[in-house]
Amino acid sequence: MNILVLNCGSSSLKYQLISMENEEVLAKGICERIGIDGSRIKHTKIGCDTIIIEGDMPSHKDAVKYVVDALVSKEHGVIESMDEINAVGHRIVHGGEEFASSTVINEDVIEAVKKCSDLAPLHNPANLIGIDACKQIMPNVPMVGVFDTAFHQTMPAKTYLYALPYEYYRKYKLRRYGFHGTSHKYVSNRTAEFLGKDIKDMKIVVCHLGNGASVCAVDGGKSIDTSMGLTPLEGLVMGTRSGDMDPAIVQFLADKEGLSIDEINTILNKKSGVLGISEISSDFRDLENAIEEGNEKARLTMDVFSYRVAKYVGAYAAAMNGIDAIAFTAGLGENNAEVRADICSYLTFLGVEIDEEANKCRGIEKDFSAKGAKVKTVVIPTDEEMTIARETARLI
């Protein structure tokens, strides 16, 4: 069985074709600049060089056609015809309170996802366009939606309610939802497997540290708290997002700088975080280079970042009354030993103790706790696409 995993953004479409027999990725790629001049597809047949195909992609439907063409192409393809795509798994960002698990996509599901668009205006419409494009191009291929929010639907009301007038929850479902759920679910399960434990008996904190970043408290396999909220802006310091701050800052900036709410929203989402503090870059690799050159501001930015993560882990130790393991994942969590060590240095009071040598790893599953440490610290590379493919295979 071959599953096509699609992740549609407003002007991009990422894809992977996965053979489920041995969970092997056959090909992957990304269509960029959809609806903009200069659209193109970067396509990789696994084991071969990445190729770039320039192409006219005014819409996502055109992009899906290009993807299928690349997958069946004699030269760069991996299947003979479109009939060898048995199902499509779509990443959908916001499932609101409607979806606590993945689901086969039908008209009712599409309507429900549309209703959640208010909650994720940048993401859900793009996801829906991708679903529509597939419906047109491969009308008989079943589709499954896998939601970023679903894993966190187990959070209790005391976790998800904001201390705002309750009528806003009643009227608009204004509450905390959390994101990166597919990653938190995969990584927490892998952590238990990797450590040879039953997840039902474990209290795990997953630190998904990428350009977008969030922490999740997983108690007995269930998300009981996570750092992102109504939108992915809440919580940790991120590449360009502020994370937690005093809400009164919005009024302050509006008054002082004469900015509109929209402009402030853009600043909080696109110009803050690591980029905002460092005034260098949103990418930690640039920060690492700057630190090596003695740049104090880059050092400070990394300190602010790590401190915030450590505070969340401490809070989740209280939420779960203890922690058995802390798992690090995503671009930074998997690759940056210094950030991992920094975060762990705040947590020795919990019984965290790391093996500095073992921590010198990148992108591999690794237990880097010191011998006998009470709390295990592990690196577990995330695999959101494989999780979407597995969910899709299970449901069809």
Q: Which residues bind ligand AMP (CB under 6 A)?
A: 210-211, 239, 283-285, 330-332, 335-336
Q: Based on CB atoms, which residue is closest to ligand AMP, 126 or 375?
A: 126
Is 22 part of any known ligand binding site? no
Is 255 part of any known ligand binding site? no
- Smallest separation (angstroms) from ligand AMP to the CB of 336: 5
Tokens of 145: 């939606």
- Smallest separation (angstroms) from ligand AMP to the CB of 362: 6
For residue 107, report the phi and psi dihedrals to the nearest 5 degrees. Answer: -60, -40
How far is it, in rounded angstroms, from Cα 97 to Cα 111? 14
How far is it, in rounded angstroms, from Cα 135 to Cα 115? 19
Q: Based on CB atoms, which residue is closest to ligand AMP, 89 or 273?
A: 273
- Smallest separation (angstroms) from ligand AMP to the CB of 339: 9
Residue in the shown chain whose Cβ atom is closest to ligand AMP: 331
Is 7 part of any known ligand binding site? yes
Beta bridge partners of 225: 217
Nearest to 240 by CA among 280, 206, 200, 268: 268
Annotated catalytic residue within 49, 118, 148, 286: 148
- Smallest separation (angstroms) from ligand AMP to the CB of 366: 15
- Smallest separation (angstroms) from ligand AMP to the CB of 187: 12
Tokens of 50: 């990445």
Is 42 part of any known ligand binding site? no
Q: Based on CB atoms, which residue is closest to ligand AMP, 339 or 395?
A: 339
Nearest to 326 by CA among 351, 301, 305: 351
Express the helix, strand and coil content of the chain in percent, nearest 5 each: 40, 20, 40
Beta bridge partners of 376: 325
- Smallest separation (angstroms) from ligand AMP to the CB of 382: 8
Q: Based on CB atoms, which residue is closest to ligand AMP, 60 or 180?
A: 180
Q: Based on the residue annotation, tell me whether 148 is a catalytic residue of this protein.
A: yes
What is the number of alpha carbons within 13 Å of residue 114 lying toward its C-beta? 9
Residues 278 and 290 sit within 8 Å (Cβ to Cβ): yes
Residues 6 or more apart whose Cβ sits within 8 Å of residue 173: 96, 97, 119
Q: Name the strands in the sheet holding 143-147, side by side, starting at the edge strand that comes first in the sequence.
A: 50-54, 40-45, 24-32, 13-19, 2-8, 87-92, 143-147, 103-104
Residues 268 and 236 sit within 8 Å (Cβ to Cβ): no
Beta bridge partners of 350: none
Is 14 part of any known ligand binding site? yes
Is 335 part of any known ligand binding site? yes
Q: Based on CB atoms, which residue is closest to ligand AMP, 77 or 210?
A: 210
Question: What amino acid occupies position 386?
Answer: M
Q: Based on CB atoms, which residue is closest to ligand AMP, 88 or 332?
A: 332
Is 333 part of any known ligand binding site? yes
Binding residues for Mg(2+): 7, 384
Binding residues for ATP: 14, 208-212, 283-285, 331-335
As annotated, the active-site residues are 148
Binding residues: 7, 14, 91, 208-212, 283-285, 331-335, 384
